[in-house]
Structure formats: C-alpha cells, structure tokens
Chains A and B, each alone.
Chain A
Amino acid sequence: MAYQPDRSQYPQKKADGTLDIDLASGKYLKLWQGPQHPGITGNMAIELTVCGDEVVEGKTHVGYLHRGFEKLMERRTFMQCFPIVCRICVPEPDFNEYCYAAAVEELAGLEVPELAHWIRTLILEMGRINSYLMYLGGQAGAFGQGVIGQWTTYVRDLMLDRFEELTGARIYHMFIIPGGVRDNLPEGFAARMETTLQEIESTLGDVERVMFHNAVFKKRAVGVGIIAPELLDSYGITGPNARAAGVAKDVRKDQPYLVYPELDFEAVTGKDSDIYTRADVRRRDLLLSIDLIRQILVKMPKSGAVMTKLPNVLHWKIPRGETYIRGECSRGEYGYYLVTDGSGYPRRVNVRGPSYTHSIALFERLVVNANISDVAALLVSLHTYPPEIER
C-alpha cells in the first residue's frame, strides 16, 4: 500500500501557466534558501514556496558571483585572458584553461606538441578527481553525514599536493596555456601520484562502505529526484546526471578530444537517475579517472617539447572566425564558444557551463513536490557550481 500524499490544497495553475499562489491564505509559506545558507552549493539562492512539507514551486536565483568575464575578456588580449579564465569555475578550473586554449589554438592555427596533449589530459583527470571528491563530501553532508566530507577533503588535499608540485598552485593552476602547457612533469611524479591514487582508492573503499551501503543513506537517496530519460534533450542535461539515467553521454567517448582515443575506458552509466544513482555514477567515474591517470602515466611520452612557438603575444592578432570547443568536466559538457574578428582581442567568448541548465531549468522542475528536507540534497546531487552559471 503506497502512501498517497494529499495534494488537494496545492495551488492551481493560472491561464498563463504560472501557479496561483495566494500567500495571504496562510496555506503556503515562502522560504528562501540562500545565498547565506549552508545547504546551498556556493553563492546562489533558491526561493521555495511550500505547502505543508512539500515544495509547490521553486525558483533559482543566480548572479551573486557575476563578474562579467565575457565582457572583461573582450578588453584583454588573448594572452591576458589566459590567467583569468580559470577563475570562472573555482572547484574545477582546468577545464576553462583547456577549452579556452584549444579554441584559441584552433582559430590561430597552432599545432600543440604531443606531450602537451598528454599532460593536459592528466591535469583534467586530476581536476575531475578533485571535483568528485568535493561532491561526495557535499552529498553526504547534505544528508548530515559530515564524516565523509572530512575523509574526502583529506584525500583531496593530497591531490592538491600533486597539483602544487606540478603547477605551483593549489586551486588556480594557470598551467594549460594557449600553445601547450607550462612545463613537463617533475622528476618522480608518477611514483608520488601512484601513492596518492592508492590513498584515494582506500578512502573510497571506506566511503563506499559507510555511505553507499548505509541503510539510512539509501532510504534518503533512493527514488528521490528522478530524472526521466526523456527530459535529457529538452533540458540540455549532460554528464553524470545524464549517464545515471542510462544514456552513455560522455564527450570523452562521443567526440574524443586530447588523447582520449588512445585510452581504454567505457563510459560509466547507471539506471534511474535518482540521487543515489547519481552519487554512485560519480563514485565509479572517480574510480575510472584513477584508472585513466594510471594509463596516462604509463603511455605518455617521457620527454619532448611541451610548448609550441607562439607569435609575439603582445601583438597577437587572430583572423576572423568562430568555433566551439567542448570537454567532459565532472558535471557535464563544458564548452567555450569563441568569436574572433581579426583584432588582438576576442570579439566574444561564451562559456557553456553544465550547471547552467542543471541548476535552473532542471532543478526548478525536479524540486516541485519534493520534501523540504530533500531540497538541499537534490541541489547537491545535480552537482552545480554557481560561478559557471553567471560567470
């Protein structure tokens, strides 16, 4: 006997499709979660209208992190843009660097050395691990399981050490530069990386036992916030959110870039994209990234040039053209649309962050009829990073 909630008090739809919410009737309560709210992924806000314990309408408010990157880049030279692009998305900045660099290289007709491709792939996979580790902690934290966040942040710090060794910075690496990468791997990097990977694997084993096999976690996460496969196209859903619904939508496989054609892997998929499956897909994707890093470190050439010769970057002009470069980041399809007009500055840069559709259109749809307790977990499970929405 399934429990049927009584929804007779819920607001009716008006003629123009919006809900007829009469706050004065006392049946509904308006709740703001954010921007100052610990359950929100970063600096954004959701405006909920609740009836009883369930949400009848949710609206996402973004723009709190807007710095106007796309405008700022229009008044910076191509090389000056390179250090600011990584600031667009904080938890996984390398994709900005890669997509921007690749777009510039394509329009300027630069050939990037083979080794640089391998190092770029390595960096991107390392960034993906960081991002997923952060997510796992956040997802468990949204259900009140703080200890997972402690463990994953601990191993994330180890991965940041590897980043620091390679690029000199913990968060903003500024390593993938148009024309290649800044440097080759340091001496003995592979061995230290292996130690880190083993540590992460062992922690993930703990996480699997404590989080994924936990009865309470299953009770909270299974069957909540299901994304039906037919929503994928209409809402522009990509990445693990789509893969959890059973569609193997992975740019690394679909339209391979960098050295992914030479690596041996299968896209991770799940069934029924609920919170639990999405978390599980991300955990397995994390294991896949560990495997990919091992493959890269074995297969990559050991020496060679990492940088192609650039023209004088102070007077670098790129002929008129437009292109779109995409990559599979931890949240889905990340892309840069770059338009040049023959001058020394980009005419227009548009960043396509996967959170853009996930956290606005998709979230507003999924949150309807969700329990208030599940709203934070639902938002986290879509793995949204606000800075890439508003840039």
Chain B
Amino acid sequence: MKEELLKRMVKGPDGVEFEVEPLRDYYCEAGPTVQTPAYTAIIEKLFNWARSESIWILGFGTGCGAIEMRPLMTPRFDAYRYGIQWRPTPRQANLFVISGYLSTKTLKRVIRSYEQMQSPKYVVGLGSCTINGGMYWDSYNTIKRLDDYLPVDLYIAGCMPRPEALLAGFEDLKKLIRAGKAEGANQYAENFEWYKANQKSVIHDWDMPDYNW
C-alpha cells in the first residue's frame, strides 16, 4: 500500500492529536505545492487561451464594488460575451474579484475561499481601498495592501471602478493569462510562509487550519 494511504497521527489546528485513516476519512495538512505546466508548450498555450476565454468569477461580494458586478452581468455591459460568468462555489471558480475594502473578518473568509479554489486561480483587486487603503487608510478594521495577503494579478483603480473599467481590466487579465504570467497560485505556494505570517499578523484569532482546501 502507498505510504500516504497508511494510518497516521496528525495534530489539528487546535493542538489536539488524533488518528487519521486515509482510506476512510480524509484529512490533509499538506500545504499548497507549485504546479508546473506539465505539458508541452503548445498545449500549455492552448490551455492558457482556454483559461483566458473562460473566466469564472466567484460570487462573493466582499465590499461595495460588488454593486457594479450586477450591471456587468446585465444588458448594458453583458460580460458573458467575453466568456465571463459567475459561479456560486469556490471549487468551480477561477477568478476571485476582491470588490473593495476587506475587513479582517472578511479577510479570513476570503483566504478560506481562495484556498478552496483550484489552480490556476487569479485575484483581481477592485478599487483604491485594496491598493493602499483608499478612504479607509486609517481604519482599524480594514487591510491596506491586498497583495500582502493574497497574490494579486491585477488591480483596477477607482472608487468605485466603473463597469467599463472592469471590462478593460478583464481584458488585461486575459492578456496576462495568455502570456502565462498569471501564476498567482504558484506564487502563493512558493511564498506560503510569508503569506501565512502576514495573514496571521492581522487575524488575531486564527482558529482554522493553516491551509484548507
């Protein structure tokens, strides 16, 4: 039998040790790993093209920017034309749009949702508050730089960004993906320690596993 299928003892996030039998229940404490493009360059290019033309946004309105997501999906702007859809579950989404300021309470949920998404995954920060705090630069409850906590592929500035800006931003994101530069998930895996340290420095009551997928 493979070693990873044997019984083993693990330590949970609350410090309690317990036995795990991988054939019956599923528990994994392994962190994220770097995923290399496994295929030849041309196939990777094809996949990158497909990824760029089929962007599924996670339906999680984290801040006020979410209000412009609805016009984006309706007649005036109709982002469906560009292969952009929203998905209600993180498992099926590829793009996390952080729509504005993040309070630390939301940041915790955002990290969980982000880690549950499947790689390759992209993060777009919306509005000046994700860039440098914006209007809430002196607030005790909102983070200032999103890229300290999650790998951000693209920022769309504005307060709040107009749907046109969003569409233009998505076009830029597509270019990044096609060029193979949107490797946020790998960046997150490579600098996992750094990201976790940053996340834990603002979430004072860290009561979840370090990595949960």
Direct contact of A and B (CB under 8 A): yes
A-side interface residues toward B, CB under 8 Å? 35-38, 42-43, 63-68, 71-72, 75, 83-84, 87, 90-91, 134, 137, 149-150, 153-154, 156-157, 160, 170-172, 387
CB–CB B74/A90 < 8 A? no
Q: How many Å from the CB of B40 to the closest CB on chain A?
A: 37
Chain A: CB-nearest residue to B58 = A36
CB–CB B88/A37 < 8 A? yes
CB–CB B74/A170 < 8 A? no
Q: How many Å from the CB of A149 to the closest CB on chain B?
A: 7
CB–CB A36/B135 < 8 A? no
Q: Which single member of B67, B70, B90, B105 contacts A36 (CB below 8 Å)?
A: B90
Q: Which single member of B103, B113, B140, B159 contacts A172 (CB below 8 Å)?
A: B159
Q: Provide the residues of chain A in CB contact with B60, threshold 8 Å.
A: 35-36, 43
CB–CB B162/A84 < 8 A? no
Q: Provide the residues of chain B in CB contact with A37, threshold 8 Å.
A: 88
Q: List 26 A-B contacts (CB under 8 A).
A: A36-B59, A38-B86, A42-B66, A43-B60, A64-B103, A64-B105, A65-B63, A65-B103, A66-B105, A67-B103, A67-B141, A68-B140, A71-B139, A72-B138, A84-B135, A87-B64, A150-B75, A153-B76, A154-B74, A154-B75, A156-B71, A170-B68, A171-B64, A171-B160, A172-B159, A172-B160
Q: Provide the residues of chain A in CB contact with B62, threshold 8 Å.
A: 35, 43, 64
Q: How many Å from the CB of B46 to the closest CB on chain A?
A: 31
Interface assignment of B142: CB less than 8 Å from any CB of chain A: yes
CB–CB B140/A153 < 8 A? no
Q: Which single member of B70, B103, B138 contacts A134 (CB below 8 Å)?
A: B70
Q: What is the 8 Å Cβ interface bit string for chain B, positions 67-111, against chain A (1 contact, 0 not)?
A: 110110011100000000010101000000000010101100100
CB–CB B101/A67 < 8 A? yes
CB–CB B162/A35 < 8 A? no
Q: How far is the CA of A91 from the CA of B70 in the complex (A)?
A: 12
Instruction: Please name 7 further chain A to chain B contacts, defined as beta carbons within 8 Å, in addition to the given A64-B105, A153-B70, A154-B74, sorted by A numbering.
Output: A36-B90, A37-B88, A42-B61, A43-B66, A72-B139, A87-B135, A91-B67
Q: How far is the CA of A72 from the CA of B86 in the complex (A)?
A: 34
Q: Provide the residues of chain B in CB contact with A68, threshold 8 Å.
A: 139-141
Given A65-B106, A66-B105, A171-B68 contact (CB < 8 Å): yes
Q: How far is the CA of A222 from the CA of B63 in the complex (A)?
A: 33
Q: How far is the CA of A170 from the CA of B68 in the complex (A)?
A: 9
Given A157-B71, A387-B64, A43-B106 contact (CB < 8 Å): yes
Q: Provide the residues of chain A in CB contact with B211, threshold 8 Å.
A: none
Interface assignment of B136: CB less than 8 Å from any CB of chain A: yes
Count of B interface residues, CB-CB < 8 Å: 34
CB–CB A90/B58 < 8 A? no
Q: Quick one: which of B151-207 are within 8 Å of A by CB?
A: 159-160, 162
Max count, chain B CB within 10 A of own CB: residue among A43, A87, A153, A170: A43
CB–CB A67/B59 < 8 A? no
CB–CB A35/B106 < 8 A? yes
CB–CB A150/B67 < 8 A? no
Q: How far is the CA of A156 from the CA of B76 in the complex (A)?
A: 10
Q: Provide the residues of chain A in CB contact with B88, threshold 8 Å.
A: 37-38
CB–CB B74/A150 < 8 A? yes
Q: How far is the CA of A171 from the CA of B64 in the complex (A)?
A: 10
Chain A: CB-nearest residue to B72 = A153
Q: How far is the CA of A353 from the CA of B90 in the complex (A)?
A: 31
Given A35-B106, A68-B140, A87-B135, A43-B67 contact (CB < 8 Å): no
Which 6 residue pairs are nearest across A and B when measured between Cβ atoms?
A153-B74, A90-B64, A36-B60, A154-B75, A157-B76, A38-B88
Q: How many Å from the CB of B59 to the closest CB on chain A?
A: 5
Q: Provide the residues of chain A in CB contact with B113, threshold 8 Å.
A: 36
Q: How far is the CA of A84 from the CA of B70 in the complex (A)?
A: 23
CB–CB B142/A67 < 8 A? yes
Given A149-B74, A171-B160, A36-B101 contact (CB < 8 Å): no
CB–CB B71/A153 < 8 A? yes
Q: How many Å from the CB of A37 to the closest CB on chain B?
A: 7
Chain B: CB-nearest residue to A37 = B88
Q: How many Å from the CB of A376 to the closest CB on chain B?
A: 12
Q: Which single member of B64, B90, B141 contacts A66 (CB below 8 Å)?
A: B141
CB–CB A43/B61 < 8 A? yes
Max count, chain B CB within 10 A of own CB: residue among A63, A171, A387: A171
